[in-house]
């Protein structure tokens, strides 16, 4: 079950009832993948700082359950989904999305090469099929024909404030597809600042999901943005500009 320390047992505690409330009933093999992901992360973190979360319970709560909330957005009718996770870091939320939605094609992108190296290890150790990683910046890959306008869903957690994030995400989304931003307490302020970015980039907020309706005291929100028209080709602007001069 566990690849580094076969004697250690992992308690899933409240995680299982909570994840059931999200409509996910994980198999033993999916739970094993979560354990393997945790062990790879803890091991890699000894030589390269990937995350501040190295304890099992916080890992389940803040990395896995947080990512699983995205299943509140996905539809049962979703077919042949092509999903991109921008600024995945150690593979969050991309890796858990793939574990819980094995039929999705999941692609992860990050500007830091070492993080992509870690994601590649996870993909290979967990045997994840139809899962890919890309080293690069959203500002550049967003102009490549293999990426631009190609995705049904684009996700991001802890990458940038919403006006900036919209410029990084929406170019990748297909018309009629969705960008889903995982946000914390500042969600309302960020939305208020996003009117111009939404208008310029062809996005419309269609839902703000509060997972605490399902999971008590849940701290975050999911902002679901539909791409309702083409993003002008001048976006995203060059490296660093979306952060330095957001469309506000």
3-state secondary structure the chain: CCCCCCCCCCCCCCHHHHHHHCCCCCCHHHHHHHHHHHHHHHHHHCCCCCCCCCCHHHHHHHHHHHHHHHHHCCCCCCCCCEEEEECCCCCCCHHHHHHHCCCCEEEEEECCHHHHHHHHHHHHHHCCCCEEEEECCHHHHCCCCCCCCCEEEEEEECCCCHHHHHHHHHHHEEEEEEEEEEECCCHHHHHHCCHHHHHHHCEEEEEEECHHHCCCCCCCEEEEEEECCCCCCCCCCCCCHHHHCCCC
Q: Which stretch binds ligand SAH (CB under 6 A): 12-20, 22-30, 41-49, 151-159?
A: 151-159
Binding residue for ligand SAH, selected from 111, 205, 209, 241, defined by CB under 6 A: 111
Greatest CA span in the chain, whole angstroms?
Answer: 55
- Within 59-88, the residues that bind ligand SAH by CB under 6 A are 86-88
Could you say whether residue 159 binds ligand SAH (CB under 6 A)?
yes
Determine the interface stretch with ligand SAH among 133-141, 143-151, 201-209, 215-223 (rule: CB under 6 A): 133-141
Pick between residue 17 and residue 240 the one whose CB is nearest to ligand SAH: 240
Which of 115, 161, 179, 225 lies at the binding interface for ligand SAH (CB under 6 A)?
115
Least separation in angstroms between CB 108 and ligand SAH = 9
161 binds ligand SAH (CB under 6 A): no
Contact pick of 126, 138, 191, 224 for ligand SAH (by CB under 6 A): 138
Compare residues 35 and 141 and give the one whose CB is closer to ligand SAH: 141
Note whether 168 binds ligand SAH by CB under 6 A: yes
Query: If binding is defined by CB under 6 A, does position 42 make contact with ligand SAH?
Result: no
Query: Between 17 and 184, whose beta carbon lies closer to ligand SAH?
Result: 184
Q: How many residues appear in the chain?
A: 248
CB of 148 to ligand SAH, least distance (A): 14
To ligand SAH, the closest distance from the beta carbon of 53 in angstroms equals 8
Q: Which phi and psi angles does 131 have, rounded to 5°?
A: -130, 130
Q: Which is nearer to ligand SAH, 110 or 152 (CB)?
A: 110
The minimum distance between CB 76 and ligand SAH, in angstroms, equals: 26
Given a contact cutoff of 8 angstroms between Cβ atoms, the answer to whether 38 and 59 are in contact is yes
Applying CB under 6 A, among 45, 82, 112, 125 the residue interacting with ligand SAH is: 112
The residues that touch ligand SAH, with contacts defined as CB under 6 A, are 86-89, 92, 109-112, 115, 137-139, 157-159, 168
């Amino acid at each position: 079950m566990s690849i580094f320390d076969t004697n250690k047992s992992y308690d899933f505690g409240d995680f299982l009832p909570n994840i059931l409330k999200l409509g996910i009933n994980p198999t033993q093999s999916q739970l094993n993948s979560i354990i393997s992901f945790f062990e790879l992360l803890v091991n890699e973190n000894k030589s390269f700082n990937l995350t501040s979360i190295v304890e099992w319970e916080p890992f389940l709560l803040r990395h896995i359950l947080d990512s699983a909330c995205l299943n509140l957005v996905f539809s049962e009718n979703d077919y042949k989904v092509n999903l991109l996770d921008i600024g995945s870091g150690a593979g969050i939320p991309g890796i858990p999305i793939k574990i819980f939605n094995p039929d999705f094609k999941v692609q992860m992108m990050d500007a830091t090469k070492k993080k992509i190296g870690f994601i590649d290890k996870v993909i290979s150790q967990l045997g994840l099929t139809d899962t890919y990683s890309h080293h690069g910046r959203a500002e550049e890959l967003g102009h490549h024909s293999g990426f631009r306008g190609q995705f049904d869903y684009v996700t991001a957690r802890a990458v940038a404030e919403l006006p900036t994030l919209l410029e990084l995400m929406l170019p990748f989304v297909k018309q009629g597809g969705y960008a889903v931003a995982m946000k914390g307490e500042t969600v309302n302020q960020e939305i208020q600042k996003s009117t111009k970015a939404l208008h310029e980039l062809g996005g419309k907020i269609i839902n703000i999901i509060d997972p605490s309706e399902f999971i008590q005291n849940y701290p975050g929100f999911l902002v679901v943005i539909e791409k309702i028209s083409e993003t002008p080709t001048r976006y995203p602007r060059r490296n660093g500009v979306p952060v330095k001069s957001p469309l506000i």
